[in-house]
Amino acid sequence: MDEIGHIKENLSRALEGPAWHGPALMELLRGVSAEQAAAHPIQGAHSIWEIVLHCIAWHRAVTKRLQGEIIELEGEADWPPVKARDERAWQDCLGELNQSTQELLMELDSFTVQRLDDMAPGKDYSYSVMLHGLVGHDLYHAGQIALLKKGV
Following DSSP, what letter does each residue of 35-59 receive, concatenated?
HHHH---STTSPPHHHHHHHHHHHH
Please give the pLDDT value at position 85. Answer: 93
pTM: 0.96
Res 63: pLDDT:
98
pLDDT of residue 23: 93
* Structural domain boundaries enclosing 39: 3-151
Contacts of residue 35, defined as CB under 8 A and 6 or more positions apart, other chains included, come to: 85
Q: What confidence score (pLDDT) does residue 20 get?
A: 85
Number of structural domains the chain divides into: 1
Cα gap 72→39, rounded to integer Å:
28
Query: According to the model, what pLDDT value does residue 19 have?
Result: 87
| Separation in Å, CA 53 to CA 89, 112, 134, 139 | 12, 28, 14, 15
**CATH number for the domain including 16?**
1.20.120.450
SS3 119: strand
Q: Which parts of the chain register pLDDT below 50?
A: none
Helix axes of 3-15 and 127-151: crossing angle, nearest 10 degrees: 10
pLDDT, residue 84, reads 93
